[in-house]
Amino acid sequence: MSAQQEPPTVTAGPVGYPHPNLAVQDHAVQDHTVAGAGAVRVLRIDREDKLGALSGGLVVALGEQVARIRQDPGIRSVVLTGTGRGFIAGADVGEYFEVSTEAFMAYQRTSREVFDALEGLPQPTVAAVNGYAFGGGFEVALCCDFIMASERARFALPEVTLGLIPGGGGTQRLARAAGTRLTKELVMTGRRMRPDEAFRHGLLTGITEPGALQSRAVEFAASLAVRAPLAVREAKRIIDGGVAQELSAALSAEQSALGRLFDSADGQEGIRAFLEKRAPSFTGLSSTGLAP
């Protein structure tokens, strides 16, 4: 195996708890193709007794972590997972009881802001769905760039059983990812979807045995972390932005991004390394028109 093909070394760091129900752990990624130690940040919802249900405080804590990740160029990719039988089993419905419409909608607005921020991270994100991903949990997973699931995972948008509909993007992000017919079926019936069905609809990157999920997700995230950071971020931005544009405009944006990358130190290093038959050493330093 050549040096360029060797897998990166991943070393887990200590676990911190910025919120009682949210664990944060960095996995340092060392690889000769990226200068400096990048990291995979793992966010783990740790509320097993409630199957990971998102309380108002937990939503705010998740949003704070997302904001910190956005500002940290050393974090090259992100894994979001749960604990035990639940990934995120939706909102904490107990908090809905006997509250005003204004308070209910305030929670929905905060959730949307956090979900949008997660989707808008420049770093690639991986949802490692270990169990129930219901309601807001399914919506959180849909905000990530990739979804990997345990064989025990279950997906659902069951709000109709409460006389409601999804409010965190379920009707829209799922329709864009898998089409309106499947979305209407899941939203209008509230039924559960197994991972093999989700995979057939193109929603999943892979399915693993339960005990292997987090390690596989971190391994996959590390494979993203060792790619040229500017190119990875530009690829995400162009793909996400392009689906909302006319094809001609999206193609022009793609070529403009390619030109900026060609003009970057990483772009020139990649070409030079290819010709010299060696592994490139990418720095991820920003260039004109490119965000680090």
Q: Catalytic residue positions?
A: 139, 159
Short-list 27, 24, 25, CA closest to 61:
24
State the residue for tokens 């590390």: 222
CB 185 within 8 A of CB 193: no
Distance CA 75, CA 56 (A): 26
Cβ atoms within 10 Å, residue 180:
12
Q: Which residues are registered as beta bridge partners of 129?
A: 149
Distance CA 175, CA 6 (A): 38
For 232, the token pair is 């990875």
Distance CA 19, CA 25 (A): 13
The H-or-E segment that residue 134 falls in is: strand 132-134
Residue 188: exposure state from Cβ atoms within 10 A (0-12, 13-18, ≥19): exposed
Cβ atoms within 10 Å, residue 101:
7
Distance CA 182, CA 189 (A): 11
Distance CA 275, CA 278 (A): 8
